[in-house]
Amino acid sequence: MAETKREIERKYDAPAGPFSLPGLTKVPGVSDVVAGGVVELDAVYYDTADQRLAAHHITLRRRTGGADAGWHLKLPVALAAGVRDEVHAPLSDDVPHTLTALVRSRAREAPLVPVVRLRTTRDVTHLTDADGTLLAEVCVDLVRAERVGTDATATWTEIEVELADGGDPAFLAKVDKRLRKAGVEPAAATSKLGRALDETGARAPDGPRAGKPVTAGDHVLARLREQHDALVALDPAVRRDLPDAVHKMRVATRRLRSAFKTYKKILDPAVTGPVGEELKWLAAELGVDRDREVLTERLTERIDALPRTLLLGPVRGRLRIWAVARRIGSRRHSVAVLDGRRYLLLLEALDALLAAPPLLPAAGRPAAAALAKAARKDHARLAARIERALAIAPGTERDHALHDARKAAKRARYAGETAVPAVGKKAAKFAKRVKKVQSLLGDHQDSVVAREALRDLAIQAHAAGETAFAWGLLYGQEQAAGADGERRLPQVWERAAKHRLPAG
């Protein structure tokens, strides 16, 4: 079974020549410096032949020696430099399936092979406070690297300062100040693997990089690359069941699909259409888990807000049973989708599209005018759907029409976001106003879905001989919330309608 810990550390290059750590008791908060001994570590790093993991600052190694021998997968965290999630798995001959799954969106079906071997002599020092509590671990590492299958080698000495579990990251800044005063500089390489690849000549050559976007096509492709990268990066987060990961992954699929539709005069729809359909499939499959998550949170908040005197019957217990049953199935389903062949083919299709984008002649037009025009069209589409929905009497048909308007609001908002780099503040304001419409319509749709779930829960409670009073009360609250959203919509829409992007 794999275990995960958050690793927060800083790396430094040791000065040339003989080196010893400066007096670290001078670091504020440090009461004692305790020698932790010397350990010998032997690690083999794995990657694809073209180093897809290293290209995204992901490391996978099999290490022996020390207290944490086994397989280690390090995934970057979008918080700050030097912060990574380290996933551990027991020592084995082959890469554990739990780890290959977490790099599947990067490696695809390419085999993971040994790339570099690092043998490290680690001198460990512990920094503790007045109570003897560990604050950080400082390691002076003598590293000997060899490129697997060749005679290429390299050696160097570096220093790692790793924050203790649950420690304050600000403490590392205090240690940093002390080390810099002693002439120690931050490491030029972000990781041992990165330095080893460079110094042994093992690093795969970088692929072509996109330049600064100029034309309309450049800006659209920049948007597609951004969302493609987000989709791929979120795969391991979804597998690890991290908060909001499914939602973010679905948003990336929607933004990609919306771009295909909005910019059909820039990108050939004959090529993007089939990919868009597969993105629609993926979003729907992931929606099973996300919709369950949102609905459970909403109903829990409703129950928490009720006075205890109105919670008649085992309300919380029934919701818990209902939610857990749905969660087990939806969670298993999401992971199965990501493990499937169809998902891999979608990722390959996106790669191919970005490698050889199906640009039409309009892609060469000036960006600001072309992107603003596309956003105005999506805005007009949204206006027509809202007008239609408001013309329908309250009820099921209007609910469906408002849901359609919500989809149009997302598309218009995404078009505004794409236009921001070329158009500027007006596009940002456009997107912000449309987002408010989208949020209102989204809350309305959530109330519709919640009412269906509450009716189901009430039926289950009644069948079990329980009172359905609380479920009926919550149903009424959701019905009122939906009606309130419909009353507010004209005013919110009026403000958004004023911020259409001007022509020319």
Res. 203: pLDDT tops 60: yes
Res. 321: pLDDT tops 90: no
Confidence of residue 207 (pLDDT cuts 50, 70, 90): low
Domain-by-domain residue ranges, the chain? Answer: 3-199, 215-365, 367-504
pLDDT at 1 (0 to 100):
53
Per residue, the 3-state secondary structure of 376-423, as one string, reads HHHHHHHHHHHHHHHCCCCCHHHHHHHHHHHHHHHHHHHHHHHHHHHH
H or E segment at 44? strand 32-47
Per residue, the 3-state secondary structure of 160-226, as one string, reads EEEECCCCCCHHHHHHHHHHHHCCCEECCCCCHHHHHHHHCCCCCCCCCCCCCCCEHHHHHHHHHHH
Per-residue model confidence as pLDDT tens digits over 238-273: 999 888 898 899 999 999 999 999 999 999 999 999
Mean pLDDT along residues 395-405: 95
pLDDT at 292 (0 to 100):
75
CA atoms within 13 A on the CB side of 260: 25
Query: Which tokens in the block code for residue 166?
Result: 């649950």
Res. 144: pLDDT tops 80: yes
Per-residue model confidence as pLDDT tens digits over 82-93: 788 999 999 999
Query: Which tokens in the block code for residue 205?
Result: 């050559």
Superfamily name and number for 3-199? Hypothetical Protein Pfu-838710-001 (2.40.320.10)
pLDDT at 302 (0 to 100):
92
Between 66 and 378, where is the model more confident?
378
Confidence of residue 329 (pLDDT cuts 50, 70, 90): low
Per residue, the 3-state secondary structure of 279-292, as one string, reads HHHHHHHHHHHHHH
pLDDT at 182 (0 to 100):
87
Per-residue model confidence as pLDDT tens digits over 435-492: 999 999 999 999 999 999 999 999 989 999 999 999 999 999 999 999 999 999 999 9
Per-residue model confidence as pLDDT tens digits over 408-435: 999 999 999 999 999 999 999 999 999 9
Superfamily name and number for 215-365? CHAD domain (1.40.20.10)
Would you say the C-alpha torsion 333, 336, 341, 344 has a positive or negative sign?
positive
Residues 294, 446 contacting (CB under 8 angstroms): yes
pLDDT at 444 (0 to 100):
95
Q: Is 361 helix (H, G, I), strand (E, B) or coil?
A: helix
How many percent of the chain have pLDDT more than 70? 96
Confidence of residue 320 (pLDDT cuts 50, 70, 90): confident
Residue 27 is which amino acid?
V
pTM over 0.85: yes
Res. 326: pLDDT tops 70: no
pLDDT at 77 (0 to 100):
84
Mean pLDDT along residues 17-46: 92
Mean pLDDT along residues 129-146: 94
Per-residue model confidence as pLDDT tens digits over 154-184: 999 999 999 999 899 999 999 999 999 988 9
Mean pLDDT along residues 368-384: 95
Torsion, CA 294, CA 297, CA 298, CA 301, rounded to 10: -170
Residues in CB range of 94: below 8 A, 6 or more apart: none
pLDDT at 331 (0 to 100):
74
Mean pLDDT, the chain, whole residue set: 91
Confidence of residue 327 (pLDDT cuts 50, 70, 90): low
Per-residue model confidence as pLDDT tens digits over 267-296: 999 999 999 999 999 999 988 767 777 888
Residues pairing with 141 in the sheet: 122, 158
d(CA 185, CA 162): 16
